[in-house]
């Protein structure tokens, strides 16, 4: 009987959370959920005194949790590194690290015929096209989806077709400028018919595909591979995945509902350690692990392209 009581007590002790563990609070883009979960697991194994707490959302929402809602965090990860210095410098952060790259793909429903990589957008804009993208006001994948459409239209002389479609289905206006194309979002972005679906985060779009609600959805390549989704590779001139094509990507911009204008550019992830981080030492150790060979291995395992060393940006 004493042995049973001892074993029960031991089980309870081992299954209880370790008291006194230091917290590490991370707000991050939803597309980083998989790789950061794996990094967290490996990091906590080598640093058992630290408990990593993560909150996933769209990148803009992750930033606004700190800037607008006053929530406390140690690190913010964004799917568009450019957002971090724009909203956090100089008062909330003084360093941003660009640590990984990605590209945009078009996923398609199982049972649907894959679109042509050359004229993929025609399938979306056709009368029977059913597709989904994330909210550009919350998630960079959303405005990048619109940028990919605009880059396709520029390349194929289809800007009038895209202008009419986006105005009718989403209330988005398309303006031609000397420097390229500006897509202006309405004050309230919503689908005006059943063809297009909008969700807060890009990772939520895959459920729509699986349920047969839509036939196509924009997604990051790393997320599509991690979920074993069917997808086509977009041409490099349209997938926002090539640093060498930065000048071309910059020909398209999106004006968000808050008035911010985001220019096209290569997809690159960034993280910012916050100046008033409640756990700065834990944050330093986590970044050190992420930038190590083991951290880079995990990022590659989740189909990201790590930058070694990461690029440091200061005010």
Q: How many CB atoms lie within 10 A of CB 248?
A: 18
Q: How much is the pLDDT for 20?
A: 83
Which of 178, 185, 180 has the alpha carbon at shortest distance from 151? 180
> Which class does domain 104-263 fall in?
alpha beta
User: In Å, what is the CA distance from 24 to each residue of 46, 72, 242?
Assistant: 15, 11, 33
Q: How much is the pLDDT for 7?
A: 44
- The domain ranges of the chain are 2-101+268-313, 104-263
- pLDDT tens-digit profile of 279-298? 999 999 999 999 999 999 99
> Residue 45 corresponds to which tokens in the numbers above?
């194994």
Mark the ranges of the chain whose per-residue pLDDT is less than 70.
Answer: 1-19
Q: How much is the pLDDT for 249?
A: 98
pTM of this prediction? 0.91
Strands 96-101 and 305-313: antiparallel
Instruction: Find residue 305's DSSP bridge partners.
Output: 101
**2-101+268-313: what fold?**
D-Maltodextrin-Binding Protein; domain 2 (3.40.190)
Q: How much is the pLDDT for 19?
A: 59
């Amino acid at each position: 009987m004493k042995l049973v009581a001892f074993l029960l007590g031991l089980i309870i002790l081992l299954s209880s959370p370790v008291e006194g563990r230091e917290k590490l609070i991370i707000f991050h883009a939803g597309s980083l959920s998989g790789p950061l979960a794996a990094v967290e697991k490996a990091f906590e194994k080598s640093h058992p005194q630290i408990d990593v707490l993560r909150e996933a959302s769209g990148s803009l929402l992750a930033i606004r949790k700190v800037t607008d809602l006053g929530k406390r965090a140690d690190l913010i990860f964004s799917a568009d590194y450019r957002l971090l210095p724009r909203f956090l410098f100089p008062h909330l952060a003084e360093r941003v690290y660009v640590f990984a790259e990605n590209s945009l793909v078009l996923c398609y429903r199982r049972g649907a015929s894959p679109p042509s990589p050359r004229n993929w957008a025609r399938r979306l804009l056709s009368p029977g096209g059913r597709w989904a993208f994330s909210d550009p006001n919350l998630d960079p994948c959303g405005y990048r989806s619109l940028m990919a459409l605009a880059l396709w239209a520029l390349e194929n002389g289809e800007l009038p077709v895209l202008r009419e479609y986006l105005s009718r289905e989403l209330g988005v206006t398309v303006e031609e400028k000397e420097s390229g194309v500006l897509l202006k979002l309405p004050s309230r972005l919503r689908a005006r018919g059943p063809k297009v679906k909008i969700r807060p985060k890009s990772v939520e779009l895959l459920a729509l595909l699986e349920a047969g609600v839509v036939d196509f959805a924009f997604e990051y390549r790393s997320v599509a591979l991690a979920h074993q989704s069917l997808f086509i590779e977009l041409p490099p001139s349209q997938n926002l995945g090539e640093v060498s094509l930065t000048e071309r990507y910059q020909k398209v911009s999106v004006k968000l509902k808050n008035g911010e204008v985001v220019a096209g550019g290569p997809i690159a992830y960034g993280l910012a350690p916050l100046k008033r981080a409640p756990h700065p030492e834990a944050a330093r150790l986590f970044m050190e692990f992420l930038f190590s060979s083991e951290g880079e291995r995990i990022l590659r395992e989740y189909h990201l392209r790590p930058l070694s060393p990461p690029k440091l940006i200061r005010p």
